[in-house]
Amino acid sequence: MTKTLASFDFLNLLLHTGGRHIVLETEWLGFAGSNDFRRALTEALRLARLHHVTGWVADDRRLGPVRPKDLEWTHTEILLPLGELGVLRFAHLESEQVLNRLTINGMYQTAVPGLNYEFRHFTLLPEARAWAAG
């Protein structure tokens, strides 16, 4: 079962239940400035905690450009705390924009070795959801 927990002009936060894991999905719809980007991801983390999420799907396919300082913030304030919440699986769908994909993947390459949950890249949303749901 899928439920929309929050919706912004640039992002939908979806909750998937029914699998082995409860999964939060960030479905990016376009560009978000620094303040909106951080506010939305802070809300996603709050909702993940509230719903005892153990899986996460980051659908970055339509995400607009992200500033390096916001990627650093994401690593410290979102990716690291997810492990403390009990997230076991993090599925990532890459941005369709080449420069964005390179920048974000660089952040993940740096971050992944320090994360205490499984991280995988996907090209198809149904596969990412299925894996994150366990």
If one compares 98 and 81, the residue with the highest pLDDT of the two is 81
Tell me the per-residue pLDDT of 94-126, one tens digit each, with 9 for 90 and over. Answer: 988 888 888 888 888 888 888 999 999 999 999
Rounded CA separation 95/107 (Å)? 13
Give the domain ranges of the chain. 2-133
pLDDT for 99 equals: 80
C-alpha distance from residue 56 to each of 67, 98, 119, 123 (Å): 22, 23, 10, 15
Tell me the per-residue pLDDT of 40-69, one tens digit each, with 9 for 90 and over. Answer: 999 999 999 999 999 999 999 999 899 999
Which CATH number is correct for 2-133, 3.40.47.10, 3.30.530.20, 3.90.1330.10, 3.90.226.10?
A: 3.90.226.10
Choose among 23, 34, 120, 31: nearest CA to 74.
Answer: 34
Where helices occur in the chain by DSSP H, the ranges are: 34-50, 68-74, 80-85, 98-111, 125-133
